[in-house]
Structure formats: structure tokens, C-alpha cells
Structure 1
Amino acid sequence: MVLTPVYKAPDELMANSVRDLLEQSGVPAIVHSFQLPAYDGLAMVMRPFWGEVLVDETDLERAKEIVDGFLSSPAGEDRPD
């Protein structure tokens, strides 16, 4: 298994949201944080994002479609009632 980044997250909430969306769609995903708790946000100075969501390279194209669809949908319109 080769893990490949599918999304660079600005914060932990978005990373977990994207991971959950992928997993609900049948694509296993892992959140990888670049934060170092002892340095209280210093990692954000070196990298402009909180972390990334990783998927197996064989799932990358499908994962990109799912993430792109999620990011391009207007707020509140992601699921019909």
C-alpha cells in the first residue's frame, strides 16, 4: 500500500470531515497532522496547512472526485433531505 495525499487541510476539522466523507464513500483514508503539540502551532509557520488526508494510490482518482465535489458544493447543499 502506497499512501498518497488527496487533500491538504487548513485545520483539523476539515481534515477529519474529508476523511469521514471518503470513508463513508468506501475509500479508506488517514489523517496525517504536521502539528507538533510541544511547539504550539510552530509547524504552521513552516507549512501553510495543518496536515493532509492520505489515501491508497489505487483510490486516488476516485478520492479526488469525491473531495472536489465536496469542496465545490455550496454550504448546505451537499445532501438532499
Structure 2
Amino acid sequence: MTSQEARRTVAVVTGRAVGAGKGVAIALGHSAMTVYVTDRTRRGAESRHGGSIADTAGVVDAVGAEGFAVATDQADDDAVARLFAR
């Protein structure tokens, strides 16, 4: 994939904004993709695991891509539909 193609690609990373999910989101950002980082909670204080989707989206922005933090419960079909309607 060329960098021009990557810039037109949108990725959705679901789940916790720490660990593997965070690493995947940042790696996609390094590839210049637009990355939607999702989880049920927006702030790390709401999670016993720490970290936040906003923090991870900020790192994606910092590597030169576009990162968006979207609180989404993937078990809720309507919430997932709203995410993909963005």
C-alpha cells in the first residue's frame, strides 16, 4: 500500500486503549491511516486498566495521522452503526 492509499484508509481499533489495542492504533497511525480508537469508556479513570482512548488517539495524531476517540459499546448494535455512520 502506498502512503497516498494509506491516507485514504480508515481503521477502527476496538477494545481497551492500552496494551495491544494501543500498539495497533499507533502502528496504523505510523502508516498514515485515519484511526478510530474505540472502547466503552472515554477516560482512563473510568477503567481499572488505565489509559484512555483520548490519550491513544492523541498519540496517533502526534505521529502525523488522524486519531479519533469514540466511546462505543461494541455489544450495542445501534452504537456500532452510529460509529460506522461517521
| Higher relative contact order, chain-length normalized (CA < 8 Å, sep 6+) | 1
**Greater gyration radius:** 1
Q: TM-score, normalised by structure 1?
A: 0.35
Q: Report the TM-score, using the length of structure 2 for normalisation.
A: 0.33
